Structure 1
Amino acid sequence: MDLSRFKKAPKNLDFKELVIFENDNYMVINKPPFVPSLDERTADRSISILKLARETYGDVQLCHRLDKETSGALVIAKNPEAYRNLAMQFEHREVQKEYHAVVNGLHDFDSISVFLPIAPLKDGTAVRIDKAKGKMAETIFFTIRKYTRHTLVKCIPITGRMHQIRVHLQCLKAPIVCDP
């Protein structure tokens, strides 16, 4: 099955339609998959969440990022003080991130912790487990629901490495559905 048509950014995104919460200091958007959070250095740089946000709202700042392939809630600060406030909460690990993933196979994860070092490949497009050169990464997994051939998993990253959840699930022989 050719899945390449699903791995493209949506065209003509209306940024205001992505907003799910907004006040004087912050907005939360529902980031669609296959749209980078920040401008990319290598691929087509025509679209990013930061670029769209700044075109619509002026000088705003992403408080965190989501991997290009990931969809979900993304917090954007509307002023420098709001950004610093939330950035400090992230730095002091006062913000708990929770992700859900549909994985291949039937799995029973009851607070399964994966603690393995991750390093980027030389081209920077992917990561792998690398016990010699990698940076430590930890993720905790819980089974939410089993289906016929798939499992819905809650993923709690303790650290925040690129593609951490994806590579840790692969180590558990539970790759995310449709991942390469």
Structure 2
Amino acid sequence: MEELTINITEEQKGERIDKVISAVDEEWSRSQISNWVKDGHIKVNGETVKPNYKVRLEDEILITPPLLEELDAEPENLDLDIVYEDEDVLVVNKPKGMVVHPAPGHASGTLVNGLMYHCTDLSGINGVVRPGIVHRIDKDTSGLLMVAKNDLAHASLVEQLVEKSVTRKYIALVHGHIAHDKGTIDAPIARDPKERQKMAVVDKGKHAVTHFTVLERFGNFTLVECRLETGRTHQIRVHMRYIGFPLAGDPKYGPRKTMDIGGQALHAAVIGFIHPRTKEYLEFSSALPAEFEELLETLR
């Protein structure tokens, strides 16, 4: 597993090292990163530092996460919808209801199980539990994900995510009538201090920005396109709830009386990134799933 390098930007200067690194992968907690710093898995300019180290503009951070404990995950023929593939990257259209990677309670039937069957060359930066996985979408969110097939591609795609240069557009159906045609939600997100299983807008949370455009209105519901500038856990679901328009069908952030559609009405419709090797900008789109289209037809 190759080391992952981060070069500090002007915006990050002066922040604690654990905060900077936690922005790379949403599953890396600050406490976990602090332990990695103490254990020497994270170095600054080739030297070990303390967990409270504040980064400087010229710093080069090398991260070598310890290998994760291997789960009993086997390759499975899940007939994945591969939208694009070459020697470095692939783009997959994940169906609603599929978990991205193995976790306690989800050792099989995940996207990673299907990817392991589809190809043997996946990046190793995230260890054996999440090979190739650069970013995630929630279990009940459908749509496009980019996957790294080697460590060079993985490092490049992660860097693009950190630099906020990846195009990510989602289609969401929300409760309520949004009067404005466009809007931007700039509100920090962190774990909900009252409910640890949920995320929330919290003053000291991670910087999070969502841009939305109204596509169609249906009386008590509105169809919107959301463009992510950042990629926090549950960002669209938390942000739309925060401004009073929670996602339809969302069991975690929606109102008590919402649609029974097996999870939030959210689809990752567009993904765009610079190819790690050719440096060409690639963009892919995915049509709404049939059940999402049928839902809209019912509302119309």
Query: Partner of 1:91 in structure 2?
Result: 162
Mapped pair 1:52 → 2:52: no
The AA in structure 1 aligned to 2:98 is V
Query: Partner of 2:228 in structure 1?
Result: 157
- The answer to whether the Cα contact below 8 Å between 1:109 and 1:141 also exists between their aligned partners in 2 is no
Distance 2:211 2:148 in 1: 28
Mapped pair 1:135 → 2:209: no
Distance 1:145 1:14 in 2: 38
How far residue 101 of structure 1 moved from its aligned partner, in angstroms, is 0.2
Change (3 A) 1:112 1:17: same
Query: Partner of 1:25 in structure 2?
Result: 88
2:167 partner SS = coil
Query: Partner of 1:7 in structure 2?
Result: none
Report the TM-score, using the length of structure 1 for normalisation. 0.80
How far residue 36 of structure 1 moved from its aligned partner, in angstroms, is 1.9
- The answer to whether the Cα contact below 8 Å between 1:102 and 1:176 also exists between their aligned partners in 2 is yes
- The answer to whether the Cα contact below 8 Å between 2:80 and 2:94 also exists between their aligned partners in 1 is no
Q: Deviations over 1:134-163 (max 9, x none)?
A: 222121111011124321101112221101
Equivalences, count: 166
Query: Partner of 1:36 in structure 2?
Result: 99
Query: Partner of 1:74 in structure 2?
Result: 145
Deviates more, 1:114-123 or 1:161-170: 114-123
- The answer to whether the Cα contact below 8 Å between 2:83 and 2:91 also exists between their aligned partners in 1 is yes
2:247 partner SS = coil
- The answer to whether the Cα contact below 8 Å between 1:108 and 1:142 also exists between their aligned partners in 2 is no
Mapped pair 1:62 → 2:133: yes
Q: Deviations over 1:102-125 (max 9, x none)?
A: 112221343311122222247753
- The answer to whether the Cα contact below 8 Å between 2:96 and 2:139 also exists between their aligned partners in 1 is yes
2:84 partner SS = strand
Distance 2:150 2:97 in 1: 27
- The answer to whether the Cα contact below 8 Å between 2:182 and 2:212 also exists between their aligned partners in 1 is yes
Q: Deviations over 1:31-63 (max 9, x none)?
A: 11222222224x333232123212331241123
The AA in structure 1 aligned to 2:197 is T
- The answer to whether the Cα contact below 8 Å between 2:79 and 2:114 also exists between their aligned partners in 1 is no
Report the TM-score, using the length of structure 2 for normalisation. 0.50
Distance 2:112 2:91 in 1: 13
The AA in structure 2 aligned to 1:151 is T
- The answer to whether the Cα contact below 8 Å between 1:145 and 1:153 also exists between their aligned partners in 2 is yes
CA RMSD, Structure 1 to Structure 2 (Å)? 2.2
Query: Partner of 1:3 in structure 2?
Result: none
How far residue 129 of structure 1 moved from its aligned partner, in angstroms, is 1.9
Change (3 A) 1:126 1:174: same
Change (3 A) 1:17 1:50: closer
1:160 partner SS = coil
